[in-house]
Amino acid sequence: MASILPKPNKTRLAQLAELSAKIFNNVYNPKGERTGNKILRQKLIGPTVVDWYPKRIITLRKITDMFPRMELVNQEEKLRLEEIAKRKKRGKGAPKKVHTHELPPLTPTTLHIHFLASPINPSDINQIEGVYPLRPTFTKELGVLSDGEHKELAVGGNEGVAEVIAVGDQIKDLKVGDWVVIGRSGFGTWRTHAAATPNDVTRIDNKGIGLIQAATMTVNACTAFRLLKDFVTLKEGDFVIQNGANSGVGQSVIQIANAWNINTINIVRNRPDIDDLKARLKSLGATHVVTDEELGCYKTKELIKEWTSINNNVGVKLGLNCVGGKVSTEMAKYLCRSGYHITYGAMSRQPITIPASLLIFKNIKFLGYWMSKWNQVHSKEERIEMLNEVIGLIRQGKLGDIAHDEVIWGNSNENDESLKIKFLDVLDKANTGFHGKKQILKIQL
């Protein structure tokens, strides 16, 4: 007679399931909790997704960047230059002529100014190329051309210092002999004289400041001031990293940061006289200077880690980018968690690639800054307050001249063609890489 086996109890069944899981290397989950194993056992779709995208092909731009000595033609750059040539044919290009005209009669609410010095900035060149958001002011008040045509004209330049030579009866806060800087973009500073209103200019106290410092403070120094002031609360000993460190803004960042006891890591392009450039930037107060080629190497990464770990420093809080392209991406990798990466220029004309890891895991914030927009949305009183702080740094000897070339221009003894040739030569130098010095027109009558 067959015997009937007793039904095993729940404890024995649980023990059997646990033993089976150990033998067959399965997950023992007696409570039936959701573990995600069902998803993990599914076939991976990563390879399928990767195969869906076209295979990456190395581009000419990458080859050109890797092997600059081969002097290959970058087709994108060629097309850009062709586009600029087309814009020039439509009147958007380097100034065509030196134009002489009479100033309009003085009115009770206007003033006449004589420019003393006017720099040539990268944004000025972008403006006359037609690729800058703000256009110069076109007006028929500049008189009739030599061929008798009376049409709208514009003057290039957005920065400069001038002296008041005549004041309308109703203007009370300006007098003859005052120095003024231009208060709005598109006014036109590459000229000897201009008619203006009080809203076009801002008076500065020129006691204890030089002509070049006054001429370059509203773009370079003020941009540097706002970049260091507006995004991150920096304290003594903090670190800032920037590319384009030898630019006008870059040199101002170095000096202002040094005055506030803030450390700077400065990136410049490699060049034959790189040791001289590094020495010059360090003489301005740069804490460290590296080249773009050194930036991505292991040794530099270890050095920056060592520099920024002193005194329990959290790392690099602020990154300032005026170049774009690969160097801006590489620079962003050195920022600490929740750091700020601020773009205020794009001299390489290359886009910024942002790795997702910097957004997800480090919470890096990528923002832009435009000095012209700051001037538009802030009051004249706020602008004057900023200028006074910058002038204070100059008087204390903490903010000096940036590297520059002075070009005497506007002399009445020179004819229009000579003045034009001299100006176009200065414009070419301002648009040339590795020149390293800001071109400044020093106006003489």
Above 90 in pLDDT, residue 180? yes
Q: Where residue 40 falls among pLDDT bands split at 50, 70, 90?
A: low
What's the confidence (pLDDT) of residue 47?
62
Q: Which helix (H) or strand (E) holds 312?
A: none
**Mean per-residue pLDDT, 19-30:** 79
Count CA within 13 A, CB hemisphere, residue 333: 15
Active site residues: 132
Q: How far is CA 378 from the centre of its chain?
A: 20
Above 90 in pLDDT, residue 153? no
Write down the mean pLDDT value for the chain: 84
Nearest of 229, 227, 204 to residue 216 by alpha carbon? 204
Token pair for 78: 């060629």
Token pair for 434: 């590795």
Phi-psi sector, 349: left (phi>0), alpha (psi -120 to 50), beta: left
Q: Say what the pTM is.
A: 0.74
Domains of the chain with bracketed CATH: 89-216+379-396+403-443 (3.90.180.10), 232-368 (3.40.50.720)
Strand, helix or coil at 349? coil
Name the H helices within 325-370.
Answer: 325-332, 356-360
Rounded Cα gap, residues 438 and 244, in angstroms:
13
Between 373 and 56, the more confident residue is 373
What's the confidence (pLDDT) of residue 382?
94
What's the confidence (pLDDT) of residue 67?
75
**Mean per-residue pLDDT, 324-337:** 93
**Mean per-residue pLDDT, 400-427:** 80
What's the confidence (pLDDT) of residue 242?
97
Token pair for 373: 């927009």
Between 135 and 334, the more confident residue is 334
**Mean per-residue pLDDT, 432-436:** 60
Between 255 and 59, the more confident residue is 255
DSSP label at 348?
T
The predicted-structure confidence for 284-313, as pLDDT tens digits, reads as follows: 999 999 999 999 888 888 999 889 887 667
Above 90 in pLDDT, residue 386? yes
Distances (CA, A) of 170 to 44, 109, 173, 197, 368: 79, 6, 9, 11, 40
Give 69's contacts (C-beta < 8 A, 6+ positions apart).
Answer: none
**Mean per-residue pLDDT, 64-87:** 70
Rounded Cα gap, residues 145 and 121, in angstroms:
27
Residue corresponding to tokens 């007006």: 139
Above 60 in pLDDT, residue 435? no
The predicted-structure confidence for 186-200, as pLDDT tens digits, reads as follows: 888 988 899 999 999
Strand, helix or coil at 302? helix
What's the confidence (pLDDT) of residue 113?
95
Above 90 in pLDDT, residue 278? yes
What's the confidence (pLDDT) of residue 421?
81
Residue 136's Cβ-count burial label (10 Å; 0-12, 13-18, 19+) is buried
Above 80 in pLDDT, residue 414? no
Nearest of 295, 300, 298 to residue 323 by alpha carbon? 295
**Mean per-residue pLDDT, 61-69:** 72
pLDDT over 70 for what percent of the chain? 84
Contacts of 434-438 with CB under 8 Å at 24 or more apart are 434/269, 434/271, 436/246, 436/277, 436/403, 437/403, 437/404, 437/405, 438/119, 438/120, 438/121, 438/216, 438/220, 438/248, 438/402, 438/403, 438/404, 438/405
Q: Where residue 50 falls among pLDDT bands split at 50, 70, 90?
A: low
